[in-house]
Amino acid sequence: MQAAYIEEFGPPGAIRHGALPAPLPGPADVLVDTLAVSVNPVDTFVRAGTWRTRLSFPFVIGRDLVGTVAAVGSGAAGFSVGDLVWCNSLGHDGRQGAAAEQAVVPVDRLYHLADTVRPVDAVAVLHPAATGYLALFTHGRLRAGETVLVAGAAGNVGSAMVVLAAEAGARVLATARPEDAEYCLGLGATAVVDYRDPGLPERVRDLSPHGVDLFVDTSGHNDLPVAVDLLAFRGRVVLLAGLRSRPVLPVGPLYLKDGSVTGFVISRATTSELADAARTLNRLLATGRLRARTVEKQPLSGAAEAHARLERGELHGRRVVLLPDRVL
């Protein structure tokens, strides 16, 4: 099969495109013919060795795929050949990645996809939306009627968060560039504040005088003094980006508010947590409510260039989807 893979850690140029042996599923696995694969920031961390995880070379890159079932292991119940399916947790912790013509997926990490949803549309939002779901609900414990501030709301994860929080009945305050305000409001935000406005804390307090119940910063800037200052009583800060971020935590104000700061990475999510997210993602995908803002399709051979563009910061609000040659 054709695949995008690495033989050692390195820059985007370390990615090769060529033939590898087709994978063989075990009893609890499903073999999937890939239709579409997305490119995520975490993929670049794994490729570069910045985020260490168990893997073997040659290593197929990529987390997310949409495809059709090609074969089912003897112990992998619930799937049949031809089913349209998706996964967003390959490419780490000993699992080969998704960026290939075929991939082996453990059955507990595979989910059905409605036939009415286009593979490209689905794969473009799987990773950011699942990340957003876990941040908001699994770790942020967001409930209907609460107020959440989403910093970086026009990005891939941020926009998914706005949709997810609004659909759950929360009040969403967003920070973004002024030119992205209309987009964020269309997703379900109640109000949008310019993230560069030096008076941002005052603007947020005007919008939510009692503070925000949940603060999530998808940009990785992680200004904890501002975040804690804006929290309501028993408010929560969830950290999900900023690998090299080292902010100062104002401990006194935090504990006087009974507040909390929680960090998480989707790579450590349990299969049951991922399955919870998948149920909500599937519902919103089927209704068309959950969609990427801009999707760019490239051949599987374009993986190295896609990684390079992502690392250069050229893909704000854009998603690159890689397609095997047979799909192009």
Give the C-alpha separation, 279 to 266, whole Å: 16
Considering the domain 126-267 in this protein, what is its CATH number?
3.90.180.10
pTM of structure: 0.94
What are the residue ranges spanned by the domains of the chain?
Answer: 2-117+293-323, 126-267
Classify 2-117+293-323 by CATH class: alpha beta
Task: Tell me, rounded to whole angstroms, the distance of Cα 198 from its chain centroid.
Answer: 29
pLDDT digits (tens, 9 = 90+) for 105-156: 999 999 999 999 999 999 999 999 999 999 999 999 999 999 999 999 999 9
pLDDT in tens, 202-253: 999 999 999 999 999 998 888 899 999 999 999 999 999 877 778 888 888 9
Strands 231-239, 212-217: pairing kind:
parallel
In 3-state terms, what secondary structure has residue 217? strand
Are both 2-117+293-323 and 126-267 of the same fold?
Answer: yes
- 317 pLDDT band (50/70/90 cuts)? confident
Measured CA to CA, the distance from residue 18 to residue 4 in angstroms comes to 7
Sequence-separated (6 or more) residues with CB below 8 Å from residue 179: none
